[in-house]
Amino acid sequence: MRQLLNINRVRPKKSLGQNFITDNNFLLKMNDHIESSKRNIIIEIGPGKGALTEYLSKKNFKKLFLIEKDNNLANQLKLKYEKIKNIFIINDDALTFDYSIFKSKEEKVIIYGNLPFNISTNLLTNWISDNEWPSFFNKMVLMFQREVADRILASHNNKKYGRLSVLVQSRCDVKKLLDAPASIFSPKPKVDGTVIQLKPINNYSEINFNNLEKLLEQSFSSRRKKIKNTLGKHIQLLTKLDIDENLRPENLSVSNYCDLVKLIN
């Protein structure tokens, strides 16, 4: 009881982008998307006070890793779960942590997380940028700021479609799971969230991710310009792929961009 009181008294740190989930109805909805299996390696990013952890810890899993940067919260979680042998608390920064230790051919690695909105895009990019694809994870169920989620999910010919859309969709099948209104958090953020499921795909596994990033940076540097201006030096390749040079960056599909990178390589 004393441990529980201590963790509930921890004040959120703005510097770490901490917004704790306090709505039980939302957590019950999240619970429906938690996979239960004795072969699963589960990783929770930023467990905070452990609201989602409560549900994760009641599922079947081989190991559960909680990666928490906040020293105080990590210590409280260690006290709470110290008697459970297959739950491990890692007091580290999720942005710089080495996830290669989780690469496994036998277990299924699943990441869950109410990601701090201020680092969510960087975290996701880090996880999908490994040129040795497929990466260490088999599935991710993550919360993003709604605006970021909309960009991740957007299809071509959509104003929200851009560099992030192509990067993520070249690596993962993406699917919206839940809305996460600001009211479910404490403190209440200024924006709503969205929970997305991401599963790795191998469609473009041979694509050099760094080269794709460079191409997208060129293409979307001026969204309103036609690609004959932003990708002018690749006109011959656009013609070879039967891509109209008068299109704008948002009109090219993920496969268009990936096919173009193949030829540039």
Q: Using one digit for the tens of pLDDT, what is the confidence trace for 49-106? A: 999 999 999 999 999 999 999 999 999 999 999 999 999 999 999 999 999 889 877 8
Task: Give the count of beta carbons closer than 10 Å to the beta carbon of residue 100.
Answer: 10
pLDDT band at 265 (very low <50, low <70, confident <90, very high): confident
Q: Is the pLDDT of residue 15 over 60?
A: no
Omega into 134 within 30° of 0, i.e. cis? yes
At 238-264, the pLDDT tens digits run 999 999 999 999 999 999 999 999 998
pLDDT of residue 182: 95
pTM (two decimals): 0.91
Say yes or no: 51 and 14 in one domain: yes
Residue where one domain finishes, among candidates 177, 200, 223: 200
Question: Which of 159, 180, 200 is the last residue before a domain boundary?
Answer: 200
Q: How many domains does the chain have?
A: 2
**Predicted local distance difference test score (pLDDT) of residue 6:** 57
Reported in sequence order, the residue ranges of 46-182 that DSSP labels E, i.e. its strands, are 63-67, 87-90, 108-114, 139-145, 172-180
CATH code at 9?
A: 3.40.50.150
Residues 154 and 59 grouped into a single domain: yes
List the structure tokens of 169: 């969709």
- Tell which of 144, 173, 200 closes a domain: 200
- Do both 254 and 157 map to the same domain? no
Domain span at residue 186 reads: 2-200
